[in-house]
Amino acid sequence: MHSLLSRGNAVLAYTLSVLVTLTFACFLSTIMIDYRKEATLKTLKVEVKNLPEYGVGRKLNDLGHITFNVDADLSSIFNWNVKQLFVYITAEYETPANELNQVVLWDRIIKRGENADLHLKNIRTKYYFWDDGNGLKGNKNVTLTLSYNIVPNVGGLPLVGSIGSHSFSFPSQYS
């Protein structure tokens, strides 16, 4: 009749077909969930300095120093299909040189089972807030936004922006 190899091949092909079907069904069960959550951001201390950049040219650029608070409860995002969250805060602002500037200031990875209720106070930026020029001094419209990438067990990697943002202005004098 059939050899051992052809029977093994049939069993393996059937098993893989069932697994692919189940994986796709699992993906479909969480695709319509709205993962946006409310976040509250507040700046406490805002400074701007004019410092030389690293490297050869050594031209003067603006460096922003910010201390901020974050309140967001992301624990309800976790379901059976969420493995971890990559949470980050970006600053968006406009300068005469560029219509849109986006800078990541802080980030954190939250794994399943860890505390995802963020109540952070007096947090300093994790990364430098450099501007390639003098676009921070006196800038009246800088917006902080909390966003997160969801790393699922199955499916795409959605990029989700939280509900709510915070706008602030930099001082018009260097410190």
CB 83 within 8 Å of CB 112? yes
Residue 174 in domain: no
**Domain match, 21 and 49 both:** no
pLDDT tens, residue by residue, 3-36? 889 999 999 999 999 999 988 888 888 888 889 9
What band does 132 get if pLDDT is binned at 50, 70 and 90? confident
Do residues 10 and 52 both lie within one domain? no
Residue 164 and residue 148 share a domain: yes
Q: What DSSP string describes 110-140?
A: EETTS--EEEEEEEEPSS-EEESSS-STT--
Residue 93 has what pLDDT? Answer: 93
Give yes or no for residue 123 having a pLDDT over 90: yes
What CATH number is attached to the domain comprising 153?
2.60.40
pLDDT single digits (tens) 142-157: 999 999 999 998 888 8
Same-domain status, 4 and 40? no
Tell me what the mean pLDDT of segment 108-137 comes to. 91
Bridging pattern class, strands 60-73 and 129-131: antiparallel
Counting the structural domains of the chain, the total is 2
pLDDT of 59:
81
- 38-86 pLDDT tens trace: 999 999 999 999 888 776 667 888 899 999 999 999 999 998 889 999 9
Same domain, 155 and 103: yes
Please tell me the pTM assigned to this model.
0.84
The reported pLDDT for the residue numbered 57 is: 66
